[in-house]
Amino acid sequence: MNEIKTVKFHMLSRALAPITHMMGSEGNESVINRTNVYHDGHVHAVPVLSGNAIRHKMVREPGAMLIVNACGLYGKLNIDQANYLFYGGSLTESSVSDNLQRIAEMQELMPLVRLLGGSLKNQIVSGSLSVSMGILVCRENRGTLELCLPDELLAGLPELRSCEDFVSGWQYTRSDARKKPELLDMENAAEAAEDKSNLMIYNGQHVIPGAMFYHDFILHNVSRLEVGALWACLKDWEASGGVIGGSSRIGHGRLKTEAYVGGENVFGDEIDLDAYEAEYREHTANNADKIKEWLDVMFGTPIRGQKKSKKSTQAEVLEVANVDIDAE
């Protein structure tokens, strides 16, 4: 059970809704995230999902929420604890003290943090998870797909089309109260009747539903608990909507993801991701008190059971815990 292995998850994610993972704007139009790919003697700008977005939305955010719920910490974290769990923390002190014992405790108590790494107040602790970009399954990425995908997955791919076949556009309009004069008092209704409606049109590009992305997770020198932690994160992410990219409030960004974990035996028996996941969830629940104690020691006293003079503290914590962003 404690045997150490390196495990690779091959992931195929199909878009169930427009994917609006953006990289900026050109004029009034938002443009999708792309990377340059060399294919057939030419350089093409091909849509891509950033590894940072995949790492945060599929792994760190749902994984942090699992710990928060298992330990009864919702609404009870201070800002440093929330930043550490949800965004990896940040260096806030210049001196480095001997944290070896506390780091060993963290790695024992929280396999997810052992995977992702993070920053204590005065020391960066590396993780063991490598995350790739999500590359579009298209003609321009044929060479990369042939090198990365197992034969079983490669044989099951649809006919490869040009990346531009998977790109389309969207446009929405945000109206204003001038379109509803019956809601206004007499003075404002009369003024609204004379004014032009102040409509706001916004538009951009998206990757169309049905398009597929390939990406992978490589877990270096891990045990069953880390594999179970990743699988639990992916299942919780999918159960919460499987969203990546922006505009989820209007139905964009949904993915349906399938995982393939090699054909070899892992940890001495047949691959059983659900069993590894159950072990991880049980481990986290059984160590809830120790995890809370560790967070208190490393990141100061939380608001748990204490009154704070700064009224915004808990609101800030909840905002951190629920923010919807693409990056860590």
Residues 74-109 have pLDDT tens digits of 888 888 888 889 988 877 776 656 677 888 888 899
Burial readout 4-34 (b: 16 or more C-beta within 10 A, e: otherwise): ebebebbbbbebbbbbbbbeeeeeeebbbbb
How high is the pLDDT of residue 132? 93
Q: Per-residue confidence at 311, pLDDT binned at 50, 70, 90?
A: very low
How high is the pLDDT of residue 24? 60
- Percent of the chain at pLDDT > 70 equals 72
Query: What would the pLDDT profile of 110-168 be if each residue is shown by its tens digit?
Result: 999 999 988 887 788 888 999 999 999 999 999 999 998 888 888 888 889 998 999 88
Query: What would the pLDDT profile of 17-56 be if each residue is shown by its tens digit?
Result: 888 877 666 666 678 788 899 998 899 999 999 899 999 9
How high is the pLDDT of residue 140? 92
pLDDT at 244 over 60: yes
The residue to which tokens 């609101």 are assigned: 315
Distance of CA 2 to the CA centre of its chain: 28
Mean of pLDDT values over 199-207: 73
237 burial (CB, 10 Å; 0-12 / 13-18 / 19+) is buried
Query: What would the pLDDT profile of 173-184 be if each residue is shown by its tens digit?
Result: 666 656 666 655
* Cα(208)–Cα(166) distance, integer angstroms: 5
* Cα(218)–Cα(132) distance, integer angstroms: 9
Q: Per-residue confidence at 310, pLDDT binned at 50, 70, 90?
A: very low
Among residues 299, 239, 311, 305, which one has the least CA distance to residue 86?
Answer: 299
Among residues 93, 127, 131, 123, which one has the least CA distance to residue 110?
Answer: 127
Q: Report yes or no: 141 and 166 within 8 Å, Cβ to Cβ.
A: no
Give me the amino acid identity at 146: E
Q: Report yes or no: 106 and 294 within 8 Å, Cβ to Cβ.
A: yes
Which DSSP string corresponds to 188-223?
A: HHHHHHHSPP--EEEEEEEEPTT-EEEEEEEEEEE-
Global pTM value: 0.79
* Cα(147)–Cα(124) distance, integer angstroms: 33
- Mapping DSSP to helix (H, G, I), strand (E, B) and coil, where does residue 23 land? strand
* Cα(327)–Cα(144) distance, integer angstroms: 25
